């Protein structure tokens, strides 16, 4: 996974903090208007967050991930394994996958250091659609421009993120590929066990 993949996703995720506004504003407006305030908060509290990883995990869990559709993401990641899994295994995977991303995003947020964030003009958007994309350009002085595309859907009156692509690389497809060998060798039970062990090691 590219270094700025989790960082880019975290930057977007931080923009989704304002609950309820999604139903009133277009996704790009919410992202653009909220990013500055939230990123400033993270920057101001960086020392305290770095000193206590638990605080960063809580920040990610409480402020960011309520705006992600982890069930749809998990379904895409597991593919056929999701279709044949019972409800107990599905819930177990969603829980461990979510904890994995908490850890990933928490680490990425601590790396944020004044990257410039811009929003290209969006193309024509179909009316009355339940899906949307938000494009974002993150510019780092050392590595240049990083294009980011967020995919969201609105099924219940709230916009939720179900995939993030960075420089053309999809988060969902990346994890699906990385889990393939474990699923092939040990099935879903083995994958859930492996994720649980890793998450337990960092206190998640």
Averaged in consecutive runs of 10 residues, what is the pLDDT profile of the chain (204 residues)?
Answer: 54 46 58 63 83 83 79 96 96 96 81 82 72 87 84 83 90 95 94 93 63
Which run of H or of E encompasses 151? strand 144-154
Closest CA to 65 of 101, 93, 114: 101
pTM of the shown model: 0.80
Structural domains of the chain, with CATH: 4-201 (3.10.450.710)
d(CA 160, CA 53): 26
CB 39 within 8 A of CB 11: yes
d(CA 22, CA 44): 26
């Amino acid at each position: 996974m590219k270094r700025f993949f989790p960082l880019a996703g975290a930057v977007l995720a931080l923009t989704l903090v304002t609950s309820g506004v999604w139903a009133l504003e277009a996704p790009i407006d919410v992202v653009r208007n909220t990013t500055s305030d939230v990123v400033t908060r993270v920057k101001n509290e960086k020392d305290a967050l770095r000193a206590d990883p638990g605080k960063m995990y809580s920040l990610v869990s409480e402020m960011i991930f309520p705006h992600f559709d982890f069930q749809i993401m998990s379904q895409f990641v597991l593919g056929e394994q999701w279709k044949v899994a019972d409800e107990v295994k599905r819930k177990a995977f969603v829980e461990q996958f979510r904890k994995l991303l908490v850890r990933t995003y928490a680490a990425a947020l601590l790396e944020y250091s004044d990257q410039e964030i811009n929003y290209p003009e969006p193309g024509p958007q179909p009316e009355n659609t339940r899906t949307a994309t938000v494009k974002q350009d993150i510019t780092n002085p050392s590595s240049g421009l990083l294009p980011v595309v967020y995919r969201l859907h609105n099924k219940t009156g709230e916009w939720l993120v179900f995939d993030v692509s960075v420089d053309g690389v999809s988060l969902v497809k990346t994890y699906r590929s990385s889990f393939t060998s474990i699923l092939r060798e040990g099935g879903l039970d083995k994958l859930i066990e492996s994720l649980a062990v890793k998450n337990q090691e960092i206190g998640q």
